Structure 1
């Protein structure tokens, strides 16, 4: 009698985003372009923050970590996705679990970085006189360590629970990545524990940050409404607008997939939403935070002038 390990699937086939042949090549170039822009944008923002001392503030410390996270989790997903457009895309069980771990780690980490950024905006607008104390280097460091720790714990919970499952016969994943819902559909083991872990981890990673962000912005808006000057209100709102856009896009697209009646719903529909927060948002964040930010524009201008003067 074959052991359970002998009957387990050792390799998966990723179907990719679409099975329509006429779309494969155009989509390859589209997502390759998005990936290149994402890498250049996030890496450029990271380098810009490192090179410019006046950007060494809590806000840009968090933005540095956000860009680093976007850079990493986009690289975890997109290269494998691009392969599926040009040939049959296979991935070993070990590689699949590794991709799942790092994907979960960076996504959860991004949730808490966005939360830390909301707290930073609250401290800057509501407690400006105490800002340097409230957002000291130690506080910023602790917030980031906490975010990475939550990412690690959540990713380990998902991965360990997924490793307990057996995949007996089916090895075709109707997705471009090793995401949780399509893997649960393939398993021939009871997935009740996994579904509970998804509910708890995603709940903590979405509800806690969402409540913190909501409370922060409620207090921020309350404080802004007490500002008598229209110019003062406009300036205060402008410091939060980029972050509010980023939060709305990220939490809106990611939470929709997991907060459904069942984690194993329509995978075809889920792929569209997953593309948005795994591929599109990492590309959009550098533009959201740079095009609407005078400090970043000034830093970029100074850096380019310095480079030109050296030539």
Structure 2
């Protein structure tokens, strides 16, 4: 088989989540349910933020961007995975690299957006009187732009490096989508450089954005301790509890996947972790924000009343 620039078309076979027939059909129903919940829930949040003037604040602008990223993030992998539950799932080298690129691009963008949302909550709780000065809409748009630029640039590194690898006769990817680790395992050359770049670049980005988010919450908790009223503390913490829950869901699975070494056992575990943060987490985001956020619930109620 030829490489990226060769004349022979190179086709990979995605092995999917499991080889058990009954489990595949069960997972098809579950994945389809969560994907529909993901798409409808996140589109609903984007619609509400766009429609309701009361939600035109930095917090909800960032939330709408997060919802858009979540829909795209799942769409990169889930439809292809659903096909694989019923038939042999193949993908060309070009399609594989494209899927890899958009997956990491959107994943990195989401990480930076979550850190930006953490800073927004820090300013709202620790500096409420200066909130509209520190978090102007222009500042919010700059955060969004930085998130997209970082995602575009970091994912490009992995896509280019993977596309230049010569692949051997084995075409079976031990995953339900084209992720970097299982794809480079099929290369005919030493891939230690690729693995090092993957671990260092994604490790640095995920760790730094996670630590920045945690730092915001350290200051938030320190500020909450100063509030004497338990009702006041509960009200202040309720404004950031939804975001904190999503942060734990996203980083908990992502770090387990990309900070460890690339071994046969780790790839098996990575499939389970990837299933969580590509299917479950994006679907839970709108549920968490809808049920735990008074402004979103109020906007949703107003919409149904106006129909």
Using the size of structure 1 for normalisation, the TM-score is 0.95
> Which residue of 1 is the match for residue 297 of structure 2?
297
CA RMSD of aligned residues (A): 1.5
Give the conservation status (yes or no) of the 8 Å contact 2:290–2:297. Answer: yes
Post-superposition offset of 1:234: 0.7
Superposed CA deviations along residues 189-224 of structure 1, whole A, max 9, x for unmatched, are 221221121122212221111121121111111111
1:9 touches 1:168 (CA, 8 Å); kept in 2?
Answer: no
- Take 1:3 and 1:96, find their aligned partners in 2: how far apart are those partners? 15
Superposition map of 1:274-293 within 5 A:
274-293=274-293
Q: Which runs of 5 or more structure 2 residues have no equivalent in the other structure?
A: none
Q: Is the 8 A contact 1:17 1:176 kept in 2?
A: yes
Stretches (4+) displaced over 3 A: 2-9, 261-265
- CA deviations on 1:84-143 (whole Å, 9 max, x unpaired) are 100000001000000000000000000000000000000001111110010001111111
Matched residue of 2:17: which SS?
A: coil
Partner of 2:222: 222
SS in structure 1 of the partner of residue 13 of structure 2: strand
Contact residue 2 and residue 9 of structure 2 kept, 8 A? no
Trace 1:1-311 onto structure 2 (pairs within 5 A): 10-262=10-262, 265-307=265-307
TM-score normalised by L of structure 2: 0.96
Within 2, Cα distance between the matches of 1:3 and 1:122?
52
**Range moving further from structure 2, 186-195 or 145-154:** 186-195
Distance 1:26 1:303 in 2: 35
SS of equivalent residue, structure 1 residue 186 = coil
Q: Is the 8 A contact 1:174 1:267 kept in 2?
A: yes
Q: Which runs of no fewer than 5 residues in structure 1 stay unpaired?
A: none
Give 3-state SS (helix, strand or coil) of 1:228's partner.
coil
